[in-house]
């Protein structure tokens, strides 16, 4: 993950001085972040007092009464992780204008919601769904398919938590100049997240997401306006780059264009069916609130992703020649450079780093809540069907603590080879898409078709991705297309063929 390289940034920065001398956050900054973290726990307490009943619906879906302001911000904060703030500018630095693809791939996620969110929201209100497994069980009536999809979701979202926890550890260590170590950072922030999550459930998570979302938007807007003011407009930067990097004016070659489209497909089908996003579709107060949230969300990549791509491109003009590791810190380099000329920019740095921490926390807390609900509702409730609502809620809370402890342990100790598995989460998760996109709109679709398609899709994806490991010379992205997209194509095709086969009349 992009944020991992911050560790190298730290070691580069401290080559001649002690870590403390190079802290990006001074004592005031650390106090600011500390106050922010304490406020998150207080919000958790407020969420606990706002509880209306001790039920799964109240705990995991905030009583299905989320209004426009909170719903929009929690959707926003959940969709954009810390990687958005730091990794995207670095990618834009390396890829140049070709990384503008990130703007449409984030928009396509919202476009995908139009296909399934209206109907899924209606059904969740009518049938009381809490997790994605509830929909799958109700729609297809297949316990095997439900458990299979639940396990795929838990693995995908679990790996998402792992990578984000590791990133947050590096950020804390780097920004405090080593005063708070990598391990201490992970443990402290994991504790804060699990405390407010178990205190107020979705209500606390959504409220904290609202604050984190505002920080994220403010961070993006401030840094974009700052670089526009300091380094001239986009046109001025383009004139510099036209001389120093004329290769950026060359359009992408055919393979890059196919990869561009493949990236849009994998992100559109992968991110749009994140269990935490589906929980928010269930939690919306009504259809109108949900629709308006999406109508605002569709424009958010312009003020988030596009701004950060421009940060990377301005960085390329200002600091040419950085390697991959160096380019990951381009946003911080620009902020440091600006703070030399504009004294007030040092506060931008605090805001930016707080926004990065907030972005990661909002992603992790939502994922944690999603996994907790998947385990409680789709696995534990099957084992103990007679369990009361308060027993289920209590089990979910205990599971959250156990899960967070395991995730924090793995984030610190997981061998590097295992980390390869965390990179494939979207390619695996997107295989669930036919169950949701087709299942909602095609009544005749059978659970067995979905199960067959899902199995074939996952097998093909894993085969392509790990073929090199077993000595086969298959490219990780054959013909410039992700393994997950090949798997998804086979998945859709299998679902189509088996559905047609089942519809054919049987000859006597």
Partner 1 sequence: MTKLRVCFISAFLIIVSVPWFFTEFISGNILGFPTWAFYSLCITILYAIVTACFFQRYWSLFADNDHD
Sole binder of partner 1 in the list 261, 322, 387, 414 (CB under 8 A): 261
Residue 479 near partner 1 by CB under 8 A: no
Positions in 438-467 near partner 1 (CB under 8 A) = 441-444
Positions in 266-325 near partner 1 (CB under 8 A) = 268, 287, 291, 294-295, 298-299, 301-302, 306
Read off the tokens for 188. Answer: 């402290």
CB closer to partner 1 out of 137 and 373:
137
- Taking the complex as a whole, the smallest distance from the CB of residue 436 to partner 1 amounts, in Å, to 13
Sole binder of partner 1 in the list 115, 214, 387, 405 (CB under 8 A): 115
Residue 108 near partner 1 by CB under 8 A: yes
CB atoms within 10 A of CB 322: 17
Helix locations, 374-478, DSSP H: 381-383, 389-413, 416-422, 425-429, 433-437, 447-466
As a whole number of angstroms, the distance between CA 113 and CA 131 comes to 16
Residue 505 near partner 1 by CB under 8 A: no
Sole binder of partner 1 in the list 11, 34, 42, 111 (CB under 8 A): 111
**Of all helices (H) and strands (E), which one includes residue 199?**
helix 182-231
Between the alpha carbon of residue 422 and those of residues 156, 226, 429, the distances in Å are 8, 35, 12
CB closer to partner 1 out of 5 and 280:
280
Binding mask 71-100 for partner 1 (x = CB under 8 A): --------------------------xx-x
- Taking the complex as a whole, the smallest distance from the CB of residue 131 to partner 1 amounts, in Å, to 21
CB closer to partner 1 out of 235 and 473:
235
- Taking the complex as a whole, the smallest distance from the CB of residue 237 to partner 1 amounts, in Å, to 7
Sole binder of partner 1 in the list 260, 347, 409, 466 (CB under 8 A): 260
Positions in 222-251 near partner 1 (CB under 8 A) = 233-239, 242, 246, 248-251
As a whole number of angstroms, the distance between CA 350 and CA 30 comes to 9
- φ/ψ of residue 364, rounded to 5: -70, -45
- Taking the complex as a whole, the smallest distance from the CB of residue 482 to partner 1 amounts, in Å, to 15
- Taking the complex as a whole, the smallest distance from the CB of residue 119 to partner 1 amounts, in Å, to 5
For residues 315 and 329, is the Cβ–Cβ distance under 8 A? no
Q: CB under 8 Å to 212, separation ≥6 — which residues?
A: 77, 358, 359, 361, 362
Q: CB under 8 Å to 490, separation ≥6 — which residues?
A: 453, 456, 457, 460
CB closer to partner 1 out of 46 and 115:
115
- Taking the complex as a whole, the smallest distance from the CB of residue 185 to partner 1 amounts, in Å, to 36
Read off the tokens for 386. Answer: 């007679």
Between the alpha carbon of residue 101 and those of residues 108, 252, 310, the distances in Å are 11, 11, 13
CB closer to partner 1 out of 246 and 505:
246
CB closer to partner 1 out of 152 and 309:
309
For residues 350 and 176, is the Cβ–Cβ distance under 8 A? no
Helix locations, 80-175, DSSP H: 82-95, 101-127, 132-140, 143-175
Positions in 123-162 near partner 1 (CB under 8 A) = 123
Q: Position of tokens 């909170």?
A: 70
- Taking the complex as a whole, the smallest distance from the CB of residue 289 to partner 1 amounts, in Å, to 12
CB closer to partner 1 out of 22 and 240:
240
- Taking the complex as a whole, the smallest distance from the CB of residue 491 to partner 1 amounts, in Å, to 17
For residues 290 and 121, is the Cβ–Cβ distance under 8 A? yes
Sole binder of partner 1 in the list 103, 210, 456, 490 (CB under 8 A): 103
HEC-encoded secondary structure of 476-495: CCHHHCCHHHHHHHHHHHHH
Read off the tokens for 72. Answer: 């929009």
CB closer to partner 1 out of 118 and 143:
118
Nearest to 358 by CA among 43, 42, 82: 82
DSSP one-letter code for 375? I
Residue 32 near partner 1 by CB under 8 A: no
Which residues in this chain contact partner 1 in the complex, by CB under 8 A? 97-98, 100-101, 103-104, 107-108, 110-111, 114-119, 121-123, 233-239, 242, 246, 248-252, 257, 260-261, 264, 268, 287, 291, 294-295, 298-299, 301-302, 306, 441-444
């Amino acid at each position: 993950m992009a944020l991992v390289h911050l560790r190298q940034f730290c070691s580069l920065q401290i080559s001649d001085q002690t870590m403390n001398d190079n802290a990006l956050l001074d004592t005031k900054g650390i106090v600011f972040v500390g106050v922010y973290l304490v406020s998150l726990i207080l919000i958790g307490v407020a969420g606990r007092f706002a509880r209306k009943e001790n039920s799964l619906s109240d705990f995991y879906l905030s009583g299905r009464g989320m209004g426009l302001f909170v719903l929009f911000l929690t959707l926003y904060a959940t969709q954009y992780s810390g990687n958005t703030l730091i990794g995207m500018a670095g990618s834009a630095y390396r890829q140049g204008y070709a990384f503008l693809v990130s703007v449409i791939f984030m928009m396509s996620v919202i476009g995908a919601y139009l296909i399934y969110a209206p109907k899924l929201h209606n059904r969740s209100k009518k049938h009381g769904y809490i997790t994605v497994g509830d929909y799958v069980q109700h729609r297809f009536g297949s316990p095997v398919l439900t458990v299979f999809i639940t396990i795929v979701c838990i693995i995908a979202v679990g790996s998402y938590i792992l990578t984000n926890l590791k990133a947050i550890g590096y950020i804390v260590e780097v920004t405090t100049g080593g005063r708070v170590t990598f391990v201490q950072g992970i443990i402290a922030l994991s504790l804060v997240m699990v405390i407010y999550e178990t205190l107020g459930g979705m209500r606390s998570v959504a409220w904290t997401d609202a604050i984190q979302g505002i920080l994220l938007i403010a961070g993006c807007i401030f840094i974009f306006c700052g670089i526009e003011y300091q380094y001239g407009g986009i046109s001025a930067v383009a004139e510099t780059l036209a001389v120093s990097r004329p290769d950026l004016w060359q359009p992408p070659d055919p393979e890059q264009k196919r990869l561009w489209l493949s990236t849009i497909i994998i992100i559109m089908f992968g991110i749009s069916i994140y269990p935490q996003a589906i929980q928010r579709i269930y939690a919306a107060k009504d259809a109108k609130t949900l629709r308006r949230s999406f109508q605002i969300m569709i424009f958010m990549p312009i003020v988030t992703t596009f701004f950060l791509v421009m940060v990377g491109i301005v960085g390329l003009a200002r600091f040419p020649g950085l390697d991959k590791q160096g380019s990951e810190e381009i946003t911080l380099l620009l902020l440091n450079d600006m703070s030399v000329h504009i004294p007030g920019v040092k506060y931008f740095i605090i805001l930016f780093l707080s926004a990065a921490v907030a972005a990661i926390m909002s992603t992790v807390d939502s994922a944690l809540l999603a996994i907790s609900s998947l385990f409680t509702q789709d696995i534990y409730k099957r084992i103990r069907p007679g369990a009361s609502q308060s027993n289920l809620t209590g089990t979910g809370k205990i599971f959250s603590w156990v899960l967070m402890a395991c995730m924090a342990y793995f984030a610190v100790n997981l061998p590097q080879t295992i980390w390869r598995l965390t990179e494939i989460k979207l390619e695996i998760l997107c295989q669930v898409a036919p169950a949701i996109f087709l299942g909602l709109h095609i009544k005749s679709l059978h659970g067995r078709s979905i199960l067959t398609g899902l199995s074939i899709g996952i097998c093909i994806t894993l085969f392509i991705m790990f073929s090199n490991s077993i000595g086969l010379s298959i490219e990780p992205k054959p013909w410039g297309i992700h393994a997950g997209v090949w798997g998804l194509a086979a998945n859709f095709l299998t679902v189509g063929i088996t559905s047609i086969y089942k519809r054919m009349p049987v000859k006597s």
